[in-house]
Structure formats: structure tokens, C-alpha cells
Chain A
């Protein structure tokens, strides 16, 4: 419970830092005043110290949706990673394991290269293509895996590797045939939140919310599954069905995240490990702690991406690996010393 509260507090602090710091200097007090105004405005209570004009537009239309989207994407990737690691009983599993990343990459590249129009009403067409691509990738891996070996998790993993390799090759082929679009494709592959807007949040929130809810509810069942398939069956858990439900929910969350942010590595791999260090192996706790910690981590990583070489930006995927890898190494080292 303490860990849950701690990571929750970390997320709140990260969100506050995220909205206060940016390429344009805004006074933290004015930022808080403006946000309070927006939250309480409908009851007619105003602080009078709120931002206006360009500053208000920057805060409310650019920075706020970006920070919230970062939190959502980080949370989704982290909880999906924790779920995948639980289902496959493999500490190296991450949300992109079953072809979600490769499928989304292919979808996005196809649309960037061949679509005559890049937007469809208020929503960009690239997120939609990436979303569909990710689901198709996972779908292929699941179909291939179940056809080849039923509910054996090793077979499913191998099917995922095969599907991911094939889709990645197809993506590279399309990209090579359309060198004009190289920068757009690379920009997407490296992950970015620079174009985040409220419509993106509205687009992914329903899927993300449903998937996260399912995963949180499956926590206890995953703990039972961790003991072994036969033991789980004797305790009334259907291993195959549970695995399918968890994989589908985690994939849906991953697809939603990938759709609006591109490919952001490392969050889904390391945050579950961090969570396990904090609260032990019980999924009932690892899943919610991963959710909160992942959100906090990505908000901070995006803050670094925006601020380090401001007013220019770094690709978010680069930052997550740059911060995440040494942090993770330190964690492993500390763990080894303790033992």
C-alpha cells in the first residue's frame, strides 16, 4: 500500500513538473492558478492570476495534452509489460514481443508512404493505421501460435518472433521504396509526443481504460497461474483462457499507446522490474504499481526530451533508453549487492 501511494505521489509530482517546465518559461504559480481556474471555472470561482493569450494557449492546448498523453502511454506500456512478463513467466518479455511494434510500424509506414491524405477529420490517419497494424500483428502471432502448439507459451513466443521479423522486413521494404518519406517514418519509429493534442487522448482513452481495467482485475488470477498450470486449474482458473484474455487486453493497451506515440522502447521492459523490486512478485500489486510508475517515468522522460536541447527536441524513444538503461543496470547491481 505504501509503494502504491508512493508511486501515485511520484506520478502527481511528475505531472506537475511536466506542465510547469517547458521551452517557454511560464511561472509555476500562474500555471497552477490557470489549471485551478479551469477546474473550478464552472462553479464561477476564479483566482485572477491565470495566464492569458499565447501563454494560456501553450499551456492548455500544447503542454497539458502532451503531459497527460505521456502519462497514459507510459502507464499503458508498463502495465502491458508487467502482464506479458507474468503470462509468459519470462522477465525479458515486453509489450512489443508478439509483433505489436512491427505491425504498427508497417501500418504507419504504409500510410505515410501511400495515403493521399494524412488526416481524417480531426484524427490523423497514422495513429489509426498503427493501431490496426499492432492488432493485426498480435492477431497473426496468436493465430500462428495456437495453430502450432495450443496454449504452450514457448510456442506462442516463437510465433511472435516470426511474425515480428516478417512484418519488420515488410516495413523496411516499403520504407526503402519510398525514400522521400524516410524522415517521417524514422520520426515515427523513434517515438514522439510532439503533436499530442486532446483528440489523441479522446481517441485512445476508451480502449486504454477498458484494457487497463481488465488487466487490473486479472492480477490475482495471474498470481495463481504463476504457481503452475495444473495447480491453477485445481484452484478454478482456466490457464488457456486467462492467458488469452490477458494477452488481448495487454495488446489492446499497447496498440493504443503505439498509435499516438510511435515506438517507445524500454518502458514496458524495465518498469515492471522496478515495480517488482518495490512490492515483490505479487501481480495484484505489481500491475497497479507498474501503471503508476510507468506514467511517472514517461512524463519525466518526455520532459527531458523537450528541455535538454530546448527549443529543439530529442526523440522520446532515445531518451527512455538513455535514462532507462543505466537506471536499470544500477538497480540490478544494487540487487546483486544486497544478496
Chain B
């Protein structure tokens, strides 16, 4: 006579089954990944393992990573800038720059540890710990380096250096940082004294979302000597308040930066057609700058391009 299995026996059985499965997949992993080609470009710096510090604490990378998965569009840009592009195996669906990045359907918003593990990564870089992904990757013994959104340019430089160290490109990363610093200083110095103190409105989308000086992009305007009209909003919206249209018009900004040209297809012409915007000095004097959303919303190396563009607009 066969009796149905009692609950405790069921769970014992399924635990056994799970353990077997785990053992199988562990054995199935490729054995060759540890004997990766050592970096030829930076022979002296390659002292493995290295330990770097991310938002999630210290992360140890055992050997020079050769199969990096990036779940952050900014990190992807940084990895390619410091010369680790060839080590990047997969990037998430928002990492659209540079065009040579191996873009996949991996999601950074609803990340799936299994889908990431399928790339057999030896390093995962991400900016936001969504759905407990860092813990899940830890359970799979995959080192995850979290670099959350930079608040200042210095944060951005530090992240570039962290990624340089973690991927075996310390020297190249230092080079990238000093070049950025040089370009940004040149741009800031080129702004005429007459443009200092001008009022800027940075538009994140056409419903009036803007960025205060407390944000990364806002710190760039402070650096350029501009006055940010979003700063009068209460700090409630973590630096990205939704300004009312009549406030924007009433503040009469001298410069408007449209960082919603991709998401929301905004243009200088559409801005001028909005009700009451015809009276705004920036519109009347044609001081409206259209920038790529991605350049203005990421904290990667292309921020130097952005500073140069704004400085050029301010020079006239």
C-alpha cells in the first residue's frame, strides 16, 4: 500500500534534489576561466587579487576579469574609457554607448541573477541594487561592484579609478581622469565674466522636472558660475523637483538646457511654442542648448563634452 509522502519528507527530498542540481551546475562550469590571459598593457600594476571599494563595501577581484557584465550605462561608458572594453562580455539594455558595447536584453531595473550568471561573469558592475541583486550574486559567488550615482565630479573621477583598478587599467584610468579635469578646467576658464551669475533652467522632461545644484549635473552649472533656478524648490524631490511652468517663465532664465531631446523629443522650436515661453530671455536670445539625455543624466567621461558644450553656449 503506497502512502502519500508526508510534508517533512517532501521538503527533505526537494532539498536533496536542489543540492544535486547545484553540484551539477558547479561541475558544469568552465574550468578554464581562472587561467585568463594576464593584462599585457599594464604589467606592473597587475597585482591580483585586488580589493576595491564600492557603494556596497569592499569587493575583492581574484584575477584580472575577462568576463565583465555591466548593469549600469555609466559604468559601461567608464569601462570602455579606461580600456577595459575588450573584457566586457555583456551590458544591460540601457548601455547604448559606446556603440561597440555588447548590448543585451539584461535589465538593470528588474535584474535576474540567473540571466546574469549565464554569462559566467567574473565581475558584475551596477549602479543600483535593485531587487536584492547584489545579495543574489553574492550567493552565486559572483563579485558585484556597486557604484551608485555620483553627486560630484570628484565622485565620478573616483569611480573611474575604482573601475581602472578592478579591471587592471590603473594607469589608463588616471590618464582619463586627468584629461577630463584638464578639459573641464579649460572650459570653465573660457566662460566670460559677463556670463557668470546668469540663470539656468535645466529640463529633465517637458513636465518641468529639473535638477538642483545638489545633483551631479547641477554641480556642473555651479562650477560654470551659473545660478540654478531649481534651487529655490524645497529639497523634497531628492534634487529633482518638478517646477511649475509659470515659475520657470517668471524666473526669466538666461540659458535653458534641454536634456529631454531623446525621451520627449523636445527641441528649441517646440520650447518657443510653449505657452508664455516666448517672453523668456533664453528663448528670445536663442540661448537654448539641446543635449543628449544620456550625456546629461550619466556621470561618465562624456560629462567633459557636456561642460564644453555649455561653456560654448555661454561664450555666445
Give the interface size class of chain A: 20 to 34
Complex CA gap A73/B109 in Å reads 35
User: Does chain B have a CB within 8 A of A179?
Assistant: yes
Chain A contacts of B278 at CB under 8 A?
57
Q: Are A310 and B279 closer than 8 Å at their CB atoms?
A: no
Chain B contacts of A180 at CB under 8 A?
94, 263
Q: Are A313 and B94 closer than 8 Å at their CB atoms?
A: no
Complex CA gap A129/B259 in Å reads 25
Q: Are A58 and B107 closer than 8 Å at their CB atoms?
A: no
Q: Are B236 and A309 closer than 8 Å at their CB atoms?
A: yes
Given the interface pairs A117-B265, A184-B264, A306-B244, the reply to whether A311 lies near B207 with Cβ below 8 Å is: no
Residues of A53-80 whose CB lies within 8 A of B: 53-55, 57-58, 61-63, 65
Further pairs besides A118-B264, A179-B109, A187-B242: 12, Cβ < 8 Å = A54-B252, A58-B249, A61-B275, A65-B275, A181-B263, A184-B205, A184-B263, A194-B208, A194-B242, A312-B241, A312-B243, A313-B208
User: Does chain A have a CB within 8 A of B286?
Assistant: no
In angstroms, how far is the closest chain A Cβ from the Cβ of B230?
8
Q: Are A54 and B249 closer than 8 Å at their CB atoms?
A: yes
Chain B contacts of A312 at CB under 8 A?
233-234, 236-237, 241-244
User: Does chain A have a CB within 8 A of B97?
Assistant: no
User: Does chain B have a CB within 8 A of A20?
Assistant: no
Complex CA gap A59/B249 in Å reads 11
Which residue numbers of A lie inside 8 Å of B, CB to CB?
Answer: 22-24, 53-55, 57-58, 61-63, 65, 116-119, 176, 179-181, 183-184, 187, 192, 194-195, 197-198, 306, 309-313
Most chain A beta-carbon contacts within 10 A, residue among B209, B242, B263, B270? B242
Most chain B beta-carbon contacts within 10 A, residue among A117, A176, A313? A313
User: Does chain A have a CB within 8 A of B110?
Assistant: yes
Given the interface pairs A24-B247, A118-B264, A184-B264, the reply to whether A62 lies near B275 with Cβ below 8 Å is: yes
Chain B contacts of A184 at CB under 8 A?
205, 207, 263-264
In angstroms, how far is the closest chain A Cβ from the Cβ of B267?
10
In angstroms, how far is the closest chain B Cβ from the Cβ of A307?
9
Given the interface pairs A184-B263, A184-B264, A195-B245, the reply to whether A61 lies near B276 with Cβ below 8 Å is: yes
Q: Are B270 and A119 closer than 8 Å at their CB atoms?
A: yes
Q: Are B209 and A183 closer than 8 Å at their CB atoms?
A: yes
User: Does chain A have a CB within 8 A of B250?
Assistant: yes
Chain A contacts of B110 at CB under 8 A?
176
Q: Are B249 and A195 closer than 8 Å at their CB atoms?
A: no
Total A-B Cβ pairs within 8 A? 95
Chain B contacts of A53 at CB under 8 A?
279
Complex CA gap A192/B206 in Å reads 12
Residues of B245-270 whose CB lies within 8 A of A: 245-247, 249-250, 252, 263-265, 270
Complex CA gap A281/B27 in Å reads 75
**Can you list 20 A-B contacts with CB-CB less than 8 angstroms, sorted by A residue number?**
A22-B246, A23-B246, A23-B247, A57-B278, A58-B246, A58-B249, A58-B250, A62-B249, A62-B275, A62-B276, A116-B265, A181-B263, A184-B264, A309-B233, A310-B247, A311-B243, A312-B237, A312-B242, A312-B243, A313-B243
Give the interface size class of chain B: 20 to 34
User: Does chain A have a CB within 8 A of B99?
Assistant: no
The interface bits of chain B over 113-155 (1 if a CB of A lies within 8 angstroms of the residue's CB, else 0) are 0000000000000000000000000000000000000000000
In angstroms, how far is the closest chain B Cβ from the Cβ of A21?
11
Q: Are B275 and A197 closer than 8 Å at their CB atoms?
A: yes
In angstroms, how far is the closest chain A Cβ from the Cβ of B70?
16
Complex CA gap A318/B107 in Å reads 30
Q: Are A24 and B234 closer than 8 Å at their CB atoms?
A: no
Chain B contacts of A183 at CB under 8 A?
205, 209
User: Does chain A have a CB within 8 A of B40?
Assistant: no
User: Does chain A have a CB within 8 A of B232?
Assistant: yes
In angstroms, how far is the closest chain B Cβ from the Cβ of A282?
40
Complex CA gap A311/B236 in Å reads 12
Chain B contacts of A23 at CB under 8 A?
244, 246-247, 250
Complex CA gap A180/B73 in Å reads 12
Q: Are B244 and A310 closer than 8 Å at their CB atoms?
A: yes
- Of A61, A197, A311, the contact of B247 (CB 8 Å cutoff): A311
Beta-carbon nearest neighbor of A305 in chain B: B244
Q: Are B107 and A179 closer than 8 Å at their CB atoms?
A: yes
Chain B contacts of A118 at CB under 8 A?
264-265
- Of B207, B264, B280, the contact of A194 (CB 8 Å cutoff): B207
Complex CA gap A281/B265 in Å reads 50
Q: Are B244 and A311 closer than 8 Å at their CB atoms?
A: yes
Beta-carbon nearest neighbor of B208 in chain A: A194
Chain B contacts of A65 at CB under 8 A?
275
In angstroms, how far is the closest chain A Cβ from the Cβ of B141?
28
Complex CA gap A38/B252 in Å reads 24
Given the interface pairs A23-B250, A119-B270, the reply to whether A57 lies near B207 with Cβ below 8 Å is: no
Beta-carbon nearest neighbor of A23 in chain B: B247
Complex CA gap A53/B265 in Å reads 28
Q: Are A309 and B265 closer than 8 Å at their CB atoms?
A: no
